[in-house]
Structure 1
Amino acid sequence: MVAAAGYRRWPRDTAHLSVLTAAGHRGRGLARATASAAVAHALSRSLLPQWRARPDASRGVAAALGFRELGTQLSLTFRPPGT
């Protein structure tokens, strides 16, 4: 497999997208093609596609598909004291 995309249904009829492209196959439009299909599938089921992109490349694919940035996301990892 060189590229895949899909979504998980979240509350309020949201489709949270996930897109993966194998490192050796990036830059060929595969992420855009697979993500476009996932977005179309979600829309056909009256879901609102959501793309949470942090890496610049992912943000570029999202922008190419018409997504707009509306905010930022902060991810934290908990480390128990003493670890």
Structure 2
Amino acid sequence: MPIGDGGLAALLGLSGEEETSESGLEGIPSPAFWLCRGEEVVAAAGFRSWRRSVARLSVLVAPPCRGNRLARVVASAAVAHALDAGLLPQWRARPYPSQRVAVALGFQELGAQLSVRLADVPVDRGC
């Protein structure tokens, strides 16, 4: 499904800003794969293509629905789509529950990622 769907927006809102940011699901260019309970989207996954070779996965499950293996279902659909597109799936799993899902799907830890945010420094245009 397209990422702009209202059900997916509701999931993002329900999960809160910090978890939505950590998931990376907001604004993904890939299709979103999701599960619904009635009309409510309770789990979703997708990815961003990086350097046309890597698919950085994004997964989110509604807080009251966690622990029911829903992340595995939607993530496996996103992984299959990435593989079909010739991309290498990558899972950045920082929180422990995310790490458990990644391991359950066969991902292996191969290293660490360091992110550095540089302060905005005014550029001196006069010389």
TM-score, reference length from structure 2:
0.59
Larger radius of gyration: 2
Query: CA 1:23–1:77 in 2, change beyond 3 Å: closer, same or farther?
Result: farther
Instruction: Write the mapping of 1:16-35 to structure 2, written as runs, cut at 5 A.
Output: 16-35=56-75
Alpha-carbon shift at residue 74 of structure 1 (Å): 2.9
The runs of at least 4 aligned residues of structure 1 exceeding 4 Å deviation read 76-80
Write the letter of the residue equivalent to 1:15: A
Q: Which runs of 5 or more structure 1 residues have no equivalent in the other structure?
A: none
- Segments of 5+ residues of structure 2 without an aligned counterpart are 1-40, 121-127
Residue of 53, 56, 61 corresponding to 2:93 = 53
Q: Secondary structure at the match of 2:99?
A: helix
Q: Partners in 1 of 2:98 and 2:70 — Cα distance?
A: 12
Report the alpha carbon displacement of residue 34 of structure 1 after superposing the two structures with TM.
0.2
Question: What whole-Å deviation, never above 9, does each CA across 1:15-49 have from its counterpart, x for those lacking one?
Answer: 01000001100000100000000000000111100
Instruction: Give the aligned partner of residue 70 of structure 1.
Output: 110
Q: Relative contact order, CA 8 A, sep 6+: which one is greater? A: 1
Deviation, 1:13, is 1.0
Superposed CA RMSD: 1.6
Residue 72 of structure 1, CA deviation:
1.6
Percent identity reads 62
Cα deviation, residue 79, structure 1: 6.1
